[in-house]
Amino acid sequence: MTSDKAIAVEKISFKDAVEIAKKGTHCGMCRFDFLESGVCPAGRKHGFLAYWPQGRMELVQQLDSGRVKPTEKLIDIVNSCSLCGICDKQCNFTTQLRPEKVAKALKDFVDNFDKNEFQNVSEDDILRGLREIVGEEWATNDPCIIASYTMSILPSNTKLNYYIVMPENTEQVSKIIRFANKNNIPFLPRSGGTAFSAAAPTVLAKGLSLEQGIVIDLYRLRKLEIHPESCTATVGAGITMFELQKEALKNKLRALAAEAGAHVCSNIVTTGIISTWGNRYGAFADNFIDLTTVDDEGDIKKHSDWERNNPYSTEPGFTNLSLTPHNIVTEAVVKLHPIFDDEEVVLVPFDNLRDAYRLLIKLGKRGVGLSLAVLSRKYLAEFLSPTLQISKDFDYVCKNYLKLNYVVSVICNQDDKKIVEDMVDYTIDQSLMKSLILGAPRFSTLKDSEFMKILSEEEDPLNAIFAGPMRDHLEKALDPSPENVSKVFDDDLQEFFKKVYSKPEMTDIVWLHAFRILPTRMLRQQMFMGPGGAMWTGDENHYLNWIQMFSDMGDKLNVEHSLGFITPLDHGKFAYMEYDYYYDHNDPDVCDRISKIVVDSMEQSLVMGKVLTILNYLFKGIYRKEHVLYPLAEGISKEEQELFKELLETVLGEEL
Amino acid sequence: MVKFLSEEWIEIGKKYILEKLDPVKDLKSITTSLLGVVEHIPPDDITMNFYLELEGGKLIHFIVNTGDTFDEKEATYEIRGNYGTYKSVLQGKMSLGIAVLKNRLKVKGSKMQALKLIKPLDGVIVSLKEITDEFED
Ligand SMILES: Cc1cc2nc3c(=O)[nH]c(=O)nc-3n(C[C@H](O)[C@H](O)[C@H](O)COP(=O)(O)OP(=O)(O)OC[C@H]3O[C@@H](n4cnc5c(N)ncnc54)[C@H](O)[C@@H]3O)c2cc1C
C-alpha cells in the first residue's frame, strides 16, 4: 500500500538516488526514535537492514554497481515501505539527506523491472539449519538483504557469500555459534553498525569486517528493564544507548552515555564506553554489574558466575590487539546514576588549548562535575549547526572574530558550578547556549558584519562577548527562535523542525550531553575518523605534544582535521583524547591517506608512550580499567617498533 | 593430493621443511615449539592437534595427534582454532596474523611473544601451504 503522501514524494531518477545514497554514512540514526517522529515501521517489523532507510540507501548503491541483482525479496522490501516520510525527518536533522527519495526511486526501479528477471533464491542446508534455530522469518541468504549490510559489517569487494540471522535471545545466539562451528563457518555480531561504518572506508575494514559467513544481527534482543531501587538496568544487545537513556530518565536516572545509536552492550564490549561522563561514572568494567556472554564455542556465561577464571583481566602491552570481540554480550546489567535537580551546564571559553587542558585536568582531579570535557571549536560548530554550510561559517566566526577555539564543558550541580565560576573570569551559560542553537543560522551570517569587526578589535574578544556588554548585543543579533532555525531546512520540513526546536530538550545542553543526538552531525555526507586514546596526564607537555603530532599528520597528508574532545578518566589521572579527520568516503585517494594516518599515528603514539591507543582500546571494555590502563605503558623500543611494523604488514599487507 | 593432518601430510611436510628451508636464513635459527589445536574437524566434529618443534631453526619434531592435548611434550606456544580457520590460512585466504587479531586463532601464553614468532614461522606456514591441497568438506 502506498499512502497519499507517496504521490507527493518528488520523483528522481535512479542515478540521482544513487548520488544521494552515496552520501549516506550509516550513522544508524534512522533506527530509533530520537525526534519523537516515530521510527521506520518497515524496519521495526522486518528487522533486516534492507528494510531500514539506511539499508535501502546501501542497496540502491549495490544494485547500481551490479554487485547484486534484483531478487524476489526486493519486491517485498520496496512494498514494505509506505513512503511515510519519517526517515526524511530523522535523516535531515542529522545529515540533510532525503532517504525517502531514494526509497521512491527504488520502488520505481522495481516497478519497471521485468517481472521475469527477479531471481529466486533457494534455501540451502545452512539456511535451513539457521531457520530451525530462529524461525523461518529471521534467517536469510537473500543477496539483496545481504548487500544492504555492506559498509556496516561487510566489505564492499567480497562475494555475497553470507547468511544474516536475527536471534531473539541468548540461547539462540548460543545455538547459532555451535551450528556455525560445526559447519566451520565464520560469524560476527552486528549491533548499531556505527563502529563498523566508521572503519569501513579505511584499512581497518580488513580486520573488523566479516569476509564471509554468518552475520548475527542482534537487533531483536530488545529487553530493557529499569530497576530504580538498585539504580541499574537490564539491557539486551539490541537496545541503543538512546533508548536506555530515555527509559532511565523516566526514573530520574542516567546511564553513562556515548554515541546515541550505538547499542549499549556493543559499546561496553568495544570501547568500555568512552564518555565525557566517565570521570564521574567510570569506564570499562565500572559500567556494569553483570554481563551475559556467549563465547566462541557457544557456551553461555555470566561475569558473576562462581568458579570461573577472572573475566576482568587482560594482558598488558601494545601487541594486545584484537579486531573482533572475544565474546558476544547478549545482556548487560548496567549501572545508572542519579540526576540532580540543580544540574546545569557551564562552558568556559578559551583561545588556546594549554589553558583549557589545564583547567580540565584540575577539575578532573578535584572530581568537579558530572560530565567534563574540552570540546574543540569544530565540535561546537558541527553539533550546534543545523547544516554543513552553517557549521563552516559558525566555525569561521568563532575562529576569526571571537578567538573561541576551545571550551571546557562542565555539567554539574550548583556547588560545583560555583567552584568553576570561582576559578575563571567568565563562562558561557545555558541561556546563551540556547541562543546559539536557535540562532546558529544568524550567527553564521555575522561573518562580515560590523558587529564582528568591532568585536575582533577588542584585546580579549572572549571577555568582551561573554563577560562584557556585548553579550546583550550578540543575543539580539542572533534573533534566536525555533522558527528562524527551522527556516534553513527544506520547505516541506520547516513546520516539523519548528516543533522539534520548540521542545525544551533540544536546547537543553544537559539533555543533549546525555542523549548525544548531535555527534552524528560529524557524519553529514562525509566521514570522520577519530584516532586517539587515553594518555597519562602527569606531563602536560607530553600530552600536548601528542595532540600536536595528530595535527601535524593532518597537515602533512592534507586532510581536514581538528581536535575533537578531551575528557578525564580515573580521577583525572588519564584523559581520553579524540582527534578527528574529516573526509569524503567516496574518494579512494583520501581513504588511503586516512588509513595511513590510522597506522602512523598509532605507531607514533606507541613510541611516545604513556598512552593506550584507540586500537589497543578495542574490545577491552569488559575488563577492569585497572587492568587495561595499568601498568602505565612506556614508549616502545626500536625493536618493538619493528615488531609493530611487521605485525601490521602481515595483517594489512604492505600497501601502507 | 596431500590431506591436512594426514600421516602423509606430516611426512611430506617434514621432508619439505628439512630440504627447502634454510635454518638460518629462512627460520632465523629459532628454537621453539608449537602445538596447533584444530577443532571442529568435519565430518564428525572431532579435535586433533599437531606438535612442531624447532631447534636452532632445524625441525626436530612434527607430529599429529587426536584430541586437544599432546601429553608427551609441552609446547611453548599453543594456538587453537577451527578447522575452517586453518583451512583459510593454508589456502592463503587469511594470514596467520589476521587470524590471531580476529581471534580466529587463539594463542595461549603471551600474545607479544607469539606475534614475535609469526615472522620466523612464515617459512613453515609457506611450506605447509605448498604441500597441503586437500581438506575435509
Ligand atoms: C559519530 C560517532 C561518534 C562516536 N562516539 C563514541 C564515543 O563517544 N564513545 C565511544 O565509546 N564510542 C564512540 N563511537 C564508536 C562506536 O559508537 C562504538 O564503538 C560503539 O561501541 C559501536 O556500537 P555499535 O552498536 O554501533 O556496534 P557495531 O558497529 O555494530 O559493532 C562494533 C563491534 O562490536 C562487535 N559487537 C557488536 N555487538 C556486540 C555484542 N553484543 N557483543 C560483542 N561484540 C559485539 C561487532 O562485531 C563489531 O566488531 C562513535 C562512533 C561514531 C560513528
Q: Which of A92, A99, A73, A104 is nearest to A34 (CA)?
A: A92
Q: Report CB contact under 8 Å: B83, A322.
A: no
Does residue A203 lie in a domain region?
A: no
* Number of Cβ atoms within 10 Å of the Cβ of A484: 17
Mutate to test the interface with B, among A214, A319, A328 (most CBs of B within 10 A): A319
Average pLDDT, chain A: 94
Residue A521: what pLDDT? 95
A236 CB less than 6 Å from ligand 1?
A: no
Is the CB of residue A24 less than 8 Å from the CB of residue A56?
no
A262 CB less than 6 Å from ligand 1?
A: yes
DSSP letters, A404-467, are: --EEEEEEE-HHHHHHHHHHSS--EEHHHHHHHHHTHHHHHHGGG-HHHHHHHTSSSHHHHHHT
Query: Could you give the domains of chain B?
Result: 2-132 (3.30.1050.10)
Does residue A295 lie in a domain region?
A: no
For the cut 80, the answer to whether the pLDDT of residue A164 exceeds it is: yes
Does residue A266 lie in a domain region?
A: no
For the cut 90, the answer to whether the pLDDT of residue A139 exceeds it is: yes
Is the CB of residue A486 less than 8 Å from the CB of residue A442?
no
Mutate to test the interface with A, among B82, B101, B103 (most CBs of A within 10 A): B101
Q: Provide CB contacts within 8 A for A284, sequence distance 6+.
A: A272, A620, A621, A622, A623, A624, A625, A628
Does A182 lie at the interface with B, CB-CB under 8 angstroms?
A: yes
The total domain count for chain A is 2
Is the CB of residue A25 less than 8 Å from the CB of residue A591?
no
Residue A244: what pLDDT? 98
Please state the separation of Cα A498 from the chain's center in Å. 26
Which chain B residues are Cβ-neighbours of A324 within 8 angstroms? 101-103
Place of cell 571577555: A463
Residue A319: what pLDDT? 84
Taking the C-alpha atoms of residue A32 and residue A432, their distance in angstroms, rounded to an integer, is 30
Q: Report CB contact under 8 Å: B98, A186.
A: no
Query: What is the whole-number distance in angstroms between the Cα of residue B23 and the centre of ligand 1?
Result: 45
- Residue contacts between A and B (CB atoms, under 8 Å): 60
Residue A376: what pLDDT? 98
Does A650 lie at the interface with B, CB-CB under 8 angstroms?
A: yes
**Ligand 1 atom nearest A198 alpha carbon:** 53
Q: Report CB contact under 8 Å: B118, A650.
A: yes
Per residue in A445-479, pLDDT tens?
998 888 888 888 888 899 988 887 888 888 888 99
Does residue A205 lie in a domain region?
A: no
Phi, then psi, of B88 in degrees rounded to 5 = -60, -40
Q: Which of A535, A507, A255, A228 is nearest to A371 (CA)?
A: A255
3-state secondary structure of A251: coil
Q: Cα angle vertex A335, ends A331, A339, to 5°?
A: 135
Mutate to test the interface with A, among B90, B102, B105 (most CBs of A within 10 A): B102
A192 CB less than 6 Å from ligand 1?
A: yes
For the cut 80, the answer to whether the pLDDT of residue A73 exceeds it is: yes
Taking the C-alpha atoms of residue A371 and residue B114, their distance in angstroms, rounded to an integer, is 41
**Ligand 1 atom nearest A270 alpha carbon:** 21
In B, what residues contact A, Cβ < 8 A?
Answer: 39-40, 42, 45, 82-85, 87, 93-98, 101-104, 110-112, 115-116, 118-119
Taking the C-alpha atoms of residue A133 and residue A131, their distance in angstroms, rounded to an integer, is 5
Which chain A residues are Cβ-neighbours of B84 within 8 angstroms? 184-186
DSSP letter assigned to residue B26: T
SS3 content of chain B, % helix, strand, coil (to 5): 35, 30, 35
Q: Provide CB contacts within 8 A for A149, sequence distance 6+.
A: A49, A55, A58, A162, A164, A190, A215
Taking the C-alpha atoms of residue A331 and residue A235, their distance in angstroms, rounded to an integer, is 6
- The residues with which B3 forms a beta bridge, in sequence order, are B134
How many angstroms separate the Cα of A421 from the Cα of each of A92, A359, A367, A418, A470? 37, 12, 15, 5, 20
3-state secondary structure of A366: helix
Taking the C-alpha atoms of residue A450 and residue A541, their distance in angstroms, rounded to an integer, is 39
How many angstroms separate the Cα of A126 from the Cα of each of A165, A214, A429, B62? 11, 10, 59, 35
Residue A649: what pLDDT? 75
Taking the C-alpha atoms of residue B111 and residue A467, their distance in angstroms, rounded to an integer, is 56
Nearest Cα of chain B lies from the Cα of A112 at a distance, in angstroms, of 40
* Number of Cβ atoms within 10 Å of the Cβ of A514: 29
Place of cell 540461547: A171
Phi, then psi, of A144 in degrees rounded to 5 = -65, -40
All three cell numbers of A460:
580579549
Which chain B residues are Cβ-neighbours of A185 within 8 angstroms? 84
Residue B127: what residue type?
A: S
Q: Quick one: average pLDDT of B20-47?
A: 91
In a mutational test of the pocket of ligand 1, which residue from A29, A259, A263 has the highest number of ligand atoms less than 8 Å from its CB?
Answer: A259
Residue numbers of the domain that contains A41: 1-164
Does A185 lie at the interface with B, CB-CB under 8 angstroms?
A: yes
All three cell numbers of A395:
566555525
Which chain B residues are Cβ-neighbours of A320 within 8 angstroms? 111-112
Residue ranges of alpha helices (H) inside A251-352 are 264-271, 278-281
Q: Quick one: average pLDDT of A326-350?
A: 97
Does residue A564 lie in a domain region?
A: yes
Taking the C-alpha atoms of residue A537 and residue A626, their distance in angstroms, rounded to an integer, is 16
All three cell numbers of B132:
597441503
Q: Which of A322, A325, A646 lies at the smallest CB-CB distance from B119?
A: A646
Residue A10: what residue type?
A: E
Residue A648: what pLDDT? 78
Q: Quick one: average pLDDT of A170-180?
A: 98
Taking the C-alpha atoms of residue A574 and residue A503, their distance in angstroms, rounded to an integer, is 37
DSSP letter assigned to residue A519: G
What beta strand segments (E) does chain B contain?
Answer: 32-41, 46-55, 58-66, 77-82, 105-108
Per residue in B44-98, pLDDT tens?
999 999 999 999 999 999 999 999 988 888 898 899 999 999 999 999 888 888 8
Nearest Cα of chain B lies from the Cα of A354 at a distance, in angstroms, of 36
All three cell numbers of A172:
539462540
Query: What is the whole-number distance in angstroms between the Cα of residue A435 and the centre of ligand 1?
Result: 33
Q: Which of A127, A135, A211 is nearest to A167 (CA)?
A: A135
Does A211 lie at the interface with B, CB-CB under 8 angstroms?
A: yes
A493 CB less than 6 Å from ligand 1?
A: no
A152 CB less than 6 Å from ligand 1?
A: no
Residue A4: what pLDDT? 43
Residue B5: what residue type?
A: L
Per residue in A196-211, pLDDT tens?
999 999 999 988 999 9
Q: Report CB contact under 8 Å: B84, A186.
A: yes
| Confidence at A381, pLDDT banded by 50, 70, 90 | very high
All three cell numbers of A43:
524496519
Q: What is the CATH number of the domain that holds A482?
A: 3.40.462
Q: What is the largest CA-CA distance in chain B?
A: 40
**Ligand 1 atom nearest A208 alpha carbon:** 49
Please state the separation of Cα A39 from the chain's center in Å. 19
Is the CB of residue A620 less than 8 Å from the CB of residue A305?
no
Does residue A4 lie in a domain region?
A: yes
Does A656 lie at the interface with B, CB-CB under 8 angstroms?
A: no
Nearest Cα of chain A lies from the Cα of B135 at a distance, in angstroms, of 12
Which chain A residues are Cβ-neighbours of B118 within 8 angstroms? 646-647, 650
Please state the separation of Cα B119 from the chain's center in Å. 13
Q: Which of A300, A271, A28 is nearest to A169 (CA)?
A: A300
Domain C-terminal end among A104, A139, A164: A164
| Confidence at A3, pLDDT banded by 50, 70, 90 | very low
For the cut 70, the answer to whether the pLDDT of residue A566 exceeds it is: yes
Q: Quick one: average pLDDT of A52-57?
A: 97
Residue A448: what pLDDT? 83
Question: To the nearest whole percent, how much of chain A has pLDDT over 70?
Answer: 98
**Ligand 1 atom nearest A325 alpha carbon:** 44
DSSP letters, A17-65, are: HHHHHHH-----GGGS-SSSS---HHHHHH-SGGGSHHHHHHHHHHHHH
Per residue in A26-37, pLDDT tens?
999 999 999 999
Atom 32 of ligand 1 has which residue's CA nearest to it? A195
For the cut 60, the answer to whether the pLDDT of residue A7 exceeds it is: no
Per residue in B98-133, pLDDT tens?
888 899 999 887 777 777 777 777 788 888 988 898
Q: Which of A184, A320, A646 lies at the smallest CB-CB distance from B83?
A: A184
Does residue A654 lie in a domain region?
A: no
Q: Which of B42, B83, B115 lies at the smallest CB-CB distance from A647?
A: B115
Residue A5: what pLDDT? 47
Residue A8: what pLDDT? 56
| Confidence at A193, pLDDT banded by 50, 70, 90 | very high
Phi, then psi, of A330 in degrees rounded to 5 = -100, -20
Is the CB of residue A158 less than 8 Å from the CB of residue A206?
no
A218 CB less than 6 Å from ligand 1?
A: yes
Taking the C-alpha atoms of residue A335 and residue A32, their distance in angstroms, rounded to an integer, is 22
Q: Which of B73, B43, B67 is nearest to A184 (CA)?
A: B43
Is the CB of residue A516 less than 8 Å from the CB of residue A259?
yes
Q: Which of A443, A472, A467 is nearest to A384 (CA)?
A: A443
